[in-house]
Structure 1
Amino acid sequence: MNTLLKRQLLRGLLLAACLPGVAMAASIQALNYSSREVDYIAVENPGNTNSGGGGDSIRPYGQGGSICCFSVPEKWHADLKVVVVYQLSPDPTFHRETVSVPQYPDGKSGDIWLIVYEDGSVGAVVSLYGPSRPEWPGKIKGYPVPTKEYRDERRKEKIKREKAVLHSMENALDGDVSDLTPVELMRLKGAIEYSKKLINILEENDK
């Protein structure tokens, strides 16, 4: 366990011991339902920047890892709020958004989940259950799934990259190959054929 993780764990445990009604130092999870890269996301208690935990980065339509720790009350109360600290690529600005935490499902505390939505807004829930469970209290049910538009865009980008690679290899083959061994020449030709097939498959899927 590295020094930073130890400090976060100790901070969470000390806070849990000092605050009334706190049952646990919860793990921090994060979900990205947007097409933007999340460069940083963490959580704090309102008015206390030293109470933070997290700091994950998440791919578009992805899920972060489990990070320790952040203290959550054993019992939900109506004014329960946290501050979500986040940075969305390519904007270097760090944002701090105070959000309300909805009721715990079945009245049970659990991990704290930090959420980024497609419109750039953020949220947080405390749940013993993951997004695929019917008890999940988040406003979007299920784990993030890339949209068709996002998948199509990524496919077009991949086709463009593959065509650039193919063009470079074909230029190499059309040039002076006298310094290549027979095995290297065979591998180059094989790579060209593979690249052509891959581009054809990607273009077929793009129709």
Structure 2
Amino acid sequence: MTKPLYRLSTLLLSLLLVSGCMAKESDMLGGPVEGYNHTSAAINRFTINGAGGPRIGPYGEGGQVCCGSVPRYWRPGLRAIVEWEKDPNPSPSVPLKRNQYGSIDPEDYKRHAANYTRHSATVEIPQYQTAGTIKVHFLPCNQVRVSANNMFIGDPRYPYNYPRKMEDTECPKP
């Protein structure tokens, strides 16, 4: 093989090897999950498409938990499955009994936890230009909304600007 032909074939082989190692842009992006509870119940736990979210007290918000995933680019019909457990009486009038070490009495806890309810909803995710934090809003009447944009709550362009405290009978329209 001549020197110029050898150099050319080495260059072509090198380009083929390098191009084979280049990563394709991922279709999915990981993002933190936040929760916002607009109700008087406590959200003991929740998941969105299987990714866990934080516990959220009545009328509270949960810090970010890593990680859920959403498509890099929004597409029509994009949905999320949200599952959650709710404690309708997070502040019982008679506090749960505790032992000498401060642990909740198991029998008392069982009686209290028997009132927990479990829910599931499949909801649409509104259009976003840039994927961001996955935000889950828990609303009265066991309704839930999800956004996956990079906007902050309170921004007029944010799709869900519900009041922080909503009456349990204020059922938002879908």
TM class, shorter-length:
0.5 to 0.7
Cα deviation for residue 18 of structure 1 reads: 9.8
Residues 145 and 115 of structure 1, relative CA distance in 2, 3 Å threshold: closer
Cα deviation for residue 146 of structure 1 reads: 3.3
**Are 1:88 and 2:86 matched, yes or no?**
yes
CA distance in 2, matches of 1:111, 1:54: 14
Cα deviation for residue 33 of structure 1 reads: 0.9
Instruction: Calculate the TM-score normalised by the size of structure 2.
Output: 0.61
Residue number in structure 1 paired with 2:56:
58
1:82–1:101 contact (8 Å) kept in structure 2: yes
Residue number in structure 1 paired with 2:139:
117
Cα deviation for residue 55 of structure 1 reads: 3.3
Cα deviation for residue 109 of structure 1 reads: 0.9
**3-state SS of paired residue (1:26):** strand
Quote the RMSD (CA, aligned, Å): 2.4
Residues 100 and 19 of structure 1, relative CA distance in 2, 3 Å threshold: farther
Give the total of aligned pairs.
120
Counterpart amino acid of 1:145?
R
Residue number in structure 2 paired with 1:77:
75
Counterpart amino acid of 1:55?
G
Query: Quick one: percent identity of the two aligned structures?
Result: 29
Counterpart amino acid of 2:31?
A
Residue number in structure 2 paired with 1:31:
36
Compare the two structures and name the one with the higher helix fraction: 1
CA distance in 2, matches of 1:93, 1:59: 15
Greater RCO (CA < 8 Å, at least 6 residues apart): 2
Residue number in structure 1 paired with 2:126:
102
2:34–2:62 contact (8 Å) kept in structure 1: yes
Compare the two structures and name the one with the higher strand fraction: 2
Instruction: Calculate the TM-score normalised by the size of structure 1.
Output: 0.52
Can you list the C-alpha shifts for 1:34-56, whole angstroms capped at 9, x where unaligned? 11111111111xxxxxxx21231
Cα deviation for residue 89 of structure 1 reads: 0.7
Equivalent in 149, 153, 158 of residue 136 of structure 1: 158
Residues 95 and 18 of structure 1, relative CA distance in 2, 3 Å threshold: farther
Q: Tell me, which stretches of 5 or more residues in structure 2 are unaligned?
A: 1-22, 89-114, 169-174
CA distance in 1, matches of 2:33, 2:130: 16
Q: Tell me, which stretches of 5 or more residues in structure 1 are unaligned?
A: 1-16, 45-51, 151-207
Residue number in structure 2 paired with 1:146:
165
CA distance in 2, matches of 1:63, 1:18: 36
